[in-house]
Amino acid sequence: APWGYSKENGPATWHKDCPIANTGVRQSPIDLITTGQTCAKYDSNLKPVIVSYPAFSEATFLNNGHSVQFQPSAGNLSELSGGPLTKKYKFEQFHFHWGNNDSEGSEHRVNGKMYPAELHLVHWNSESPNFSSFQEAVGSNDPHALCVLGFFLKVGAENASLKPITDLLSKVKNAGSSVSFPGKFDLKAVLPETLTDYYTYDGSLTTPPLAECVKWIVFKEPIEVSTAQMEAFRAVDDGHGKPITGNYRPPCPLHTRTVAASFK
Ligand SMILES: NS(=O)(=O)c1nccs1
Ligand SMILES: [Zn+2]
């Protein structure tokens, strides 16, 4: 049976098809601890993250049964650089993780605190000689083949920039359904202006195949969405006639990794 988030196919069972779930030493997500021994360490060399996201004009919005995913056509020119990165990365897709109430839903945590949701912007290194697509990057064993930007979502004012996405959720209620995104979508408008304050560490995909190929950049400043927008996520089905709720993996052991912070 395909993996998911239920008792029968959830994170505790993923090791059966993906042994790295239990044997990996750089698994994601993690709990981002800000004080004490294993806490994130300020690194003054960390620069702001630079994104170049021209509005997407052609994209598919898909409910794949374990999340909802926005994927522009391959020709999109969106790029990522700066921050801890030494290469330019190409945008692949964004998707979300959420819970069925406001006290849970994010994958990363801050001192044990979960946010109601987390947005992942997935990119792959477009300058590597070893691969030339997202799928090849995932299978490359390159520790930084991918870079995923994580943004926490918290409940507050309605997010007008994300409204075109949350308004579309009812159209992909059924697992396996997708729609062609109508018009243009300005992802840049969703993000905070300054991408200066973040945590960064070496980790993995948080869903199977759990490949340990991700440079993670998790931003300190949450993005606000309204209660209605959060509720819209909670109405999306998982393919077994139930809403997807709690499509987040619990935190994984840090092992010998260190987390760097770009802020004090
Ligand atoms: N949740 S994640 O961004 O780590 C991811 N999993 C598979 C493709 S992208
Ligand atoms: Zn994700």
Name the residue of 66, 136, 138, 205 to mutate for ligand 1: max ligand atoms within 8 A of Cβ: 205
- In angstroms, what is the span from residue 29 Cα to ligand 1's centroid? 10
Please indicate, yes or no, whether the overall pTM of this predicted structure exceeds 0.90: yes
Pocket test for ligand 1, best of 68, 120, 146, 212 (most atoms within 8 A of CB): 120
Whole-angstrom Cα distance, residue 219 to residue 111? 14
The atom number, within ligand 1, closest to the CA of 107 reads 1
120 lines ligand 1 (CB under 6 A): yes
In the structure encoding, which two tokens stand for residue 79, read together? Answer: 């790029």
Rounded to whole angstroms, how far apart are CA atoms 214 and 200?
10
Q: Look up residue 48 and give its DSSP letter.
A: P
Catalytic residue list contains 108: no
Distance CA 124, CA 88 (A): 9
pLDDT confidence of residue 245:
81
pLDDT string in tens for the chain (264-residue length): 799 999 999 999 999 999 999 999 999 999 999 998 789 999 999 999 999 999 999 999 999 999 999 999 988 899 999 999 999 999 999 999 999 999 999 999 999 999 999 999 999 999 999 999 999 999 999 999 999 999 999 999 999 999 999 999 999 999 999 999 999 999 999 999 889 999 999 999 999 999 999 999 999 999 999 999 999 999 999 999 899 989 999 999 999 999 999 999
Looking at the CA of 119, which ligand is closest?
2
**CA dist 120 to 39, 49, 218, Å?**
23, 15, 9
Amino acid 74: pLDDT: 84
Q: How far from 85 is each of 51, 82, 146, CA to CA, in Å?
A: 12, 5, 10
Q: How far is it, in rounded angstroms, from Cα 93 to Cα 81? A: 16
Compute the Cα dihedral for 239, 240, 243, 248 and give only its sign.
Answer: negative
